Amino acid sequence: MGSRCLISFPLFSQCKWLDGLYLMEIDRVLRPGGYWIFSGPPINWKANYKGSEVGAQELEQEQARLEDLAVRLCWKKVAEKGAIAVWRKPNNHIHCIIKSRIWKSPRFCINSDPDAGWYKKMEPCIAPLLNVTDIHDISGGSLEKWSKRLNIAPPRTKSEGISDCRCEAFSTYPRTYDLIHAHGVFSMYMDKCSILDILLEMHRILRPEGAVIIRDHVDIIVEVKGIAEKMKWNGRILHSENGAFHPEKILLIDTCC
């Protein structure tokens, strides 16, 4: 992960390095052993302060605060060259738990879900990693080496995906798709979204004369077909490849008329 604070130095305090909220949020979303790259001031302030509106002393203090917070997050600085610095998050928190007893701040989050990133107020605390028994273990399971890692989900997220998100609009522009294939989506979202909400979102992202293929339990298929017809969509129920007596059915929806 890389970042740069693109605001003027008189407003630099808005980046919240002083209380560390932004950096703690970066720590929360980084994988164990992940890297954070920061470019721009105050990194390498000795070479850059002459062209800045801020004095050398203030830039030095800002970098010192950043370095101090990174250490208290148990990050290790692995490189600095020019205006770029790189830190690495630890593989686990065995050493960090011991050090936190000395530093006192920031504390570890208590009774907080590290995956709860929606509609949640950021807290000035460290999201704890899963416990391990050995200092060399990677919290949550080991990762594949590069470049295999690009095509393999990490252990703790293998069973997750966009279908595990909350009832939110799909991250795309209107009228983007000609065809949508929803396999088990309505069953998966039954306790999160209404059928009408999902169909209206499909309507938003479908191009004119688009089509929808829905595979789900027969009870849900029948209910979806009824709501789709009220939206002036044409639906037809078919048996799946599992046969007529299997509860999974297929609903073909044509939105052209």
Least confident of 28-32, 150-154, 172-176: 150-154
pLDDT, position 18 = 45
The gap from C-alpha 102 to its chain's centroid, in whole angstroms, comes to: 31
Is the distance from CB of 186 to CB of 224 less than 8 angstroms? yes
DSSP string, 86-123: EEE--S-SHHHHHHHHHH--SEEPSS--TT--SS----
Q: pTM (2 decimals)?
A: 0.58
Peptide bond into 147 cis (omega under 30): yes
pLDDT tens per residue across span 23-63 = 888 999 898 899 999 887 777 666 665 555 566 777 778 78
Is the distance from CB of 248 to CB of 218 less than 8 angstroms? yes
pLDDT, position 51 = 56
- Report the topology of domain 162-254: Rossmann fold (3.40.50)
Residue ranges per domain, the chain? 1-155, 162-254
Dist. CA 139–CA 37, nearest whole Å: 22
- pLDDT for 142 beyond 90: no
